Structure 1
Amino acid sequence: MKREEFEKIVEETIESLPEEIKQKLDNVVFIVQDYPDSDELKKTKASKYNLLGLYTGIPLSKRGTSYGMYPATPDRIFIFKANIERICRNEKELKTKIREVVLHEIGHYLGMSEEEVRKALGE
């Protein structure tokens, strides 16, 4: 799948979120790249070829009252295109998996633990 098509699915997933969730997405950017780089891999125990997504930043639930009073670099949600494509057999599976990964990483952004995210998504 072309990167533009892949990114469009990511965008559509974000746009389809309930309004109450979209309003909470503050100072966060979504980045599509093929694989995690070495800096991103240091934050996880996964291999370069197994990681589907990654959230980095200060979770919403951990932001204090002073957050935003000073310039803060945006939190980042990475979606790893090549790794997702590798495990999907067709476009339908691909769209479903992209949505799952985006929602999973948004869960971490909101402050949910891995266990809480998996439970909420029925994983």
Structure 2
Amino acid sequence: MMAVTMSRERFEELVADALDSVPEQLLKLLSNVVILVEDDSPDGQRLLGVYEGYALTERGADYGAVLPDRITIFRNPILSICDTEAQVAHEVTVTVVHEIAHHFGIDDARLHQLGWG
């Protein structure tokens, strides 16, 4: 496998395209979330993306005055497992959907069952 070389700008375009593919009714439900691109996952982990925050299912009446939840998509780990730009686009879409699902309280086990592992 040969890692894909891609500029950060092009990668960010693919993340934007992935967001555009999410149904609008779901995007409207995203609440207090920012989506970021970083080159590498923390501490040498091989993460493709990560959701940090309070899922909608965990927010109670006391939820408020908190920093936005963060969905981070990691460029280099995704590029390292892909051979083509089309594979990168697919992996970015799967990762974006996967992390958005965590915002809605869907866990990894259920995501794997649904094919969004």
Please name the residue that 1:44 is paired with: none
Aligned residues of 2:53 and 2:68 also touching (Cα < 8 A)? yes
Please name the residue that 1:26 is paired with: 31
| 1:92 correspondence with 2:92 | no
2:67 aligned residue (55, 63, 73): 73
1:108 aligned residue (102, 105, 108): 102
Aligned residues of 2:94 and 2:116 also touching (Cα < 8 A)? no
- The runs of 4+ residues in structure 1 deviating greater than 3 Å are none
| 1:17 CA drift (Å) | 1.2
Q: Taking structure 1 as reference, are residues 116 and 36 closer, same or farther at Cα in structure 2, changes over 3 Å only?
A: same
Amino acid at match of 1:55: Y
1:54 aligned residue (47, 50, 56): 50
| 1:18 CA drift (Å) | 1.0
Runs of 5+ unmatched residues, structure 2: 1-5
Amino acid at match of 1:26: S
Q: TM-score, normalised by structure 2?
A: 0.88
Percent of aligned pairs with the same amino acid: 37
Q: What is the alpha-carbon distance in structure 2 between the residues aligned to residue 75 and residue 97 of structure 1?
A: 22
RMSD: 1.4
Please name the residue that 2:7 is paired with: 2
Deviates more, 1:75-84 or 1:7-16: 7-16
Runs of 5+ unmatched residues, structure 1: 39-47
Q: TM-score, normalised by structure 1?
A: 0.84
